[in-house]
Amino acid sequence: MEKVYIESYGCQMNFADSEVVGAILTGAGHSIVTDIDEASFILINTCAIRDNAEQRVRHRVRELRAMQGRRHALRIGILGCMAERLQNRLMAEEDNLSLVCGPDAYRRLPQLIEQVRCGKQAAEVELSTTETYADIEPVRLGSNGISAFISIMRGCQNYCSYCVVPYTRGRERSRDPLTIVAEARSLFDQGYHEVTLLGQNVNSYKWTDDTGFPELMDMVAAINPQLRVRFATSHPKDLSDKLLEVMASHPNICRCIHLPVQSGSNRMLQLMNRKYTVEWYLDRVDAIRRYMPDCSITTDVIAGFSSETLEDHQATLDLFRRVRYDYAYMFKYSEREGTYASRHLPDDIADDEKTRRLNEIIALQGEIALENNKSEIGKEYEVLVEGESHRSKEQLFGRNSQNKVIVFDRRDAQPGTYCKVKVRNCTAATLLGELV
Ligand code: SAH
Ligand code: SF4
Ligand code: F3S
């Protein structure tokens, strides 16, 4: 049987999928190895969201060619969003690849590997309207035994005009809530203290008319008050008061909402097909702060989308000043083949101008994050300790409910437990504290 090494790129959903792949392969008798030098098969779970994400994988595939030169039996396969987007083209372009498998076809991986062993190339990229891998208990790869992901829905059909995900992940579908609750309970019984429920639009989760995302959150949070529950990513259009009510009523649902805004200009939001306005978005931010004044808010933003003017860009900066995000993922627009924007909206902002706008957003966000963190000094938080700090063995790090990383002197604290920590100092990225 094969010794499979899985390498993952892209969003948390890809990392969660790799754990499903791990379960499917071990179920078929293969083993998962964590040392690439032991591998007979390398599977790369890929992302297609921006061109640079794809270039990184292309570069890696070429790098691995050298390893194949030394180890002739070594096979390489591509999973995930690039597999879905490029299909057979990928194997034609990178001739050291043996296998291509899209995100809804992972159950077929054992057969595909068999085909490769018979000397053939293997590809399966069929998307599904029903596959959720609900019955598969993921093999936790690279886990700290404290925090785990649970995929609760797949796909996206929002068709934001710039985005490739609807084409790589297929139709939106939700997973049976009983299997989600069972997986979370089993994780808690194994000693995990935190689960993150995942989906491209996690808050559009819908199983039946009576079971939407708020009801699901209520069920998962009720498993045990010692189990922290997080979720990502929520779409502003579906952020309901009902969800905020449920969050506010469970202290173990973490006070952190990732709410991608993409742009602060209504004209851009409309061109992006985001289905909300700046006013709607700010109303949702106000609602979050009304229900949970201590909730952190994070976002995604795109600089230099088609026809973005300096006024549009200013509007994004103004929105950042207004919301004062705790963290932001900031990107330059990257045109993706096949999307509405690639067909109808010219990619007409010069690359160096995109970079300039992006850097302006990054600089502003850096200032805001530092100011936000400074205002944390003196506060006490319950921290779930995750492990040793990267800087020093004498220090531990963990996160508070707001998802901020706090580093502190270890004394008698242990990873995998909750500790009370008082914030003493900070950088823009990290809080520095001491045990109380
Ligand atoms: N489903 C989530 C985000 C998915 S992708 C949502 O709708 O919010 C993660 C982020 O990548 C997006 O929020 C967006 O900011 C960014 N992104 C997506 N397509 C992009 C593109 N073509 N160019 C640059 N950034 C992009
Ligand atoms: Fe892409 Fe929009 Fe779907 Fe998010 S909601 S995955 S940005 S199409
Ligand atoms: Fe990338 Fe696919 Fe996730 S394109 S962001 S890995 S859904």
DSSP string for residues in 198-216: E-TTGGG-EEETTEEHHHH
> Can you tell me which atom of ligand 1 is nearest the CA of 233?
2
The residues, ordered by sequence, that sit 6+ positions from 271 with a Cβ below 8 Å of its Cβ are: 161, 305, 306, 307, 341, 345
Per-residue pLDDT tens over the stretch 399-424: 999 999 999 999 999 999 999 999 99
Residue-by-residue DSSP string for 120-137: --EEE----SS---TT--
> With left for phi above 0 and alpha for psi between -120 and 50, is residue 29 left, alpha or beta?
left
Q: If you take atom 3 of ligand 3, which residue's CA is the nearest one?
A: 11
The pLDDT value recorded for residue 234 is 95
**C-alpha 176 – ligand 1 centre gap (Å):** 26
Residue-by-residue DSSP string for 97-115: --EEE-TT-GGGHHHHHHH
CA 339 from chain center: how many Å? 21
**Candidate of 13, 153, 163, 358 to mutate for ligand 1, largest count of ligand atoms within 8 Å of Cβ:** 163
The pLDDT value recorded for residue 432 is 97
As a whole number of angstroms, the distance between CA 235 and CA 362 comes to: 22
163 lines ligand 2 (CB under 6 A): yes
Q: Are 395 and 419 in contact (CB under 8 A)?
A: no
Q: If you take atom 2 of ligand 1, which residue's CA is the nearest one?
A: 200
**C-alpha 331 – ligand 3 centre gap (Å):** 14
Tokens of residue 397, six digits? 């790090």
**C-alpha 423 – ligand 2 centre gap (Å):** 36
156 lines ligand 2 (CB under 6 A): yes
174 lines ligand 2 (CB under 6 A): no
Alpha-carbon separation of residue 141 from 22, 132, 304, 372 (angstroms) = 8, 19, 37, 34
As a whole number of angstroms, the distance between CA 403 and CA 416 comes to: 15
Q: Partners of 297 in the beta sheet?
A: 257
Tokens of residue 331, six digits? 């990107």
As a whole number of angstroms, the distance between CA 50 and CA 168 comes to: 13
DSSP state of 253: B
Tokens of residue 203, six digits? 């808050």
* 3-state class percentages of the chain: helix first, strand second, coil last, to nearest 5: 40, 25, 40
Which ligand minimizes its atom distance to the CA of 263? Answer: 1
Length of the chain: 436
Q: Are 407 and 396 in contact (CB under 8 A)?
A: yes
Tokens of residue 68, six digits? 């194949």
**C-alpha 428 – ligand 2 centre gap (Å):** 28
As a whole number of angstroms, the distance between CA 183 and CA 192 comes to: 11
The pLDDT value recorded for residue 142 is 86
Q: If you take atom 5 of ligand 2, which residue's CA is the nearest one?
A: 158
285 lines ligand 3 (CB under 6 A): no
> Can you tell me which atom of ligand 3 is nearest the CA of 45?
6
Task: Show the low-confidence residues of the chain (pLDDT under 50).
Answer: none
235 lines ligand 1 (CB under 6 A): yes
As a whole number of angstroms, the distance between CA 332 and CA 102 comes to: 26
The residues, ordered by sequence, that sit 6+ positions from 153 with a Cβ below 8 Å of its Cβ are: 132, 172, 173, 174, 175, 199, 200, 201, 202, 204, 205
> Can you tell me which atom of ligand 1 is nearest the CA of 200?
1
Percent pLDDT > 70 in the chain is 100
**C-alpha 246 – ligand 3 centre gap (Å):** 29
As a whole number of angstroms, the distance between CA 25 and CA 18 comes to: 10
Claim: this prediction has a pTM higher than 0.75: yes
Q: If you take atom 13 of ligand 1, which residue's CA is the nearest one?
A: 300
> Can you tell me which atom of ligand 3 is nearest the CA of 53?
1
**C-alpha 301 – ligand 1 centre gap (Å):** 8
The pLDDT value recorded for residue 119 is 94
As a whole number of angstroms, the distance between CA 96 and CA 8 comes to: 19
For 129, list phi and psi in degrees, rounded to 5: -100, -5
